[in-house]
Amino acid sequence: QKEVEQDPGPLSVPEGAIVSLNCTYSNSAFQYFMWYRQYSRKGPELLMYTYSSGNKEDGRFTAQVDKSSKYISLFIRDSQPSDSATYLCAMSDSGGYQKVTFGTGTKLQVIP
Amino acid sequence: GAVVSQHPSWVICKSGTSVKIECRSLDFQATTMFWYRQFPKQSLMLMATSNEGSKATYEQGVEKDKFLINHASLTLSTLTVTSAHPEDSSFYICSARFASGGPQGFGPGTRLTVT
């Protein structure tokens, strides 16, 4: 079993839809949670990061962490074609953001 | 996240030659940088942690004599792929954290093709 599981997709949605991206994990020591967006042939771009459980909102993006279920989510409201990319969840333990474990990424396509 | 640059963005080399990839932190000092490798349709795999002024820490299974890492200053880390072979063809990405902590910011990546 992988430490971090993420549905690879692809996930296709119409423009304007609400997108839900999810990851599950098995390591209860994870306390720092991140979401990165990666366009084809580019390095990952940090979208959101949270510590421990709870919600965090930034514009059209909302990150949720449920440590009791070992489940994290990223919601994208009013999705745009420019949101089409691969979304990687990532997490690390109490050492901070030093050693990060990544999910395999979910490829998202927003259709105009 | 941190602002990080990489050079070159794409390199093609012949089997048996060595290739150097540079990673720079643009507007901050990075005591620690990280090197990742990403194969097509796969996630990022940490290769090594580069610490300024000391030896790099390599992940299990990564050959330290093949992937030479040098972190000579607070703004520059280099990865040299020695005696490259076609199986080393991959997307190499570096990242860095601000010295005060926080999540890693990634460089744009270097695509290496070994023929």
Q: Do A43 and B46 touch (CB under 8 A)?
A: no
CB interface of A with B, residues 44-83, below 8 Å: 44-46, 49
Please give the pLDDT value at position B28: 81
Residue A64 has pLDDT above 80, yes or no: yes
Other CB atoms within a 10 A radius of the CB of residue A80 amount to 12
Confidence of residue B51 (pLDDT cuts 50, 70, 90): confident
Show residues of chain B in contact with A49, CB under 8 Å.
102-103
> Which residue in A85, A87, A8, A41 sits closest to B113, CA to CA?
A41
Query: Exposed, middle or buried: residue A38 (CB in 10 Å: 0-12, 13-18, 19+)?
Result: buried
Is residue A25 within a helix (H) or strand (E), and if so which, with residue range? Answer: strand A19-25
Residue B34 has pLDDT above 70, yes or no: yes
Chain B residues contacting A via beta carbons under 8 Å: 1, 4, 6, 32, 41-44, 46, 49, 91, 93, 95, 97, 101-109, 111
Distance to chain A for B40, nearest Cα, Å: 10
Which of A42, A88, A99 has the CB atom closest to B43's CB atom?
A88
Residue B102 has pLDDT above 70, yes or no: yes
Q: Taking CA atoms, what residue in B is nearest to A91?
A: B103
Q: Do A99 and B42 touch (CB under 8 A)?
A: no
- Lookup result for tokens 């093609």: B12
**Residues ≥6 apart with Cβ < 8 Å to A96:** A32, B101
Residue B101 has pLDDT above 70, yes or no: no
- For the ranges B4-8, B13-17, B68-72, the lowest mean pLDDT is seen at B68-72
- Reading phi first (left if > 0) and then psi (alpha if -120 to 50, else beta), residue B24 is in beta
Is residue A51 within a helix (H) or strand (E), and if so which, with residue range? Answer: strand A45-51
Residue A27 has pLDDT above 90, yes or no: yes
Q: Do B41 and A8 touch (CB under 8 A)?
A: yes
The letter for the amino acid at A94 is S
Q: Do B44 and A102 touch (CB under 8 A)?
A: yes
Residue A19 has pLDDT above 70, yes or no: yes
Please give the pLDDT value at position A65: 96
Report the C-alpha gap between B106 and A30 in whole angstroms: 21
Distance to chain B for A96, nearest Cα, Å: 8
Q: Does A2 touch chain B (CB under 8 A)?
A: no
Residue B1 has pLDDT above 60, yes or no: no
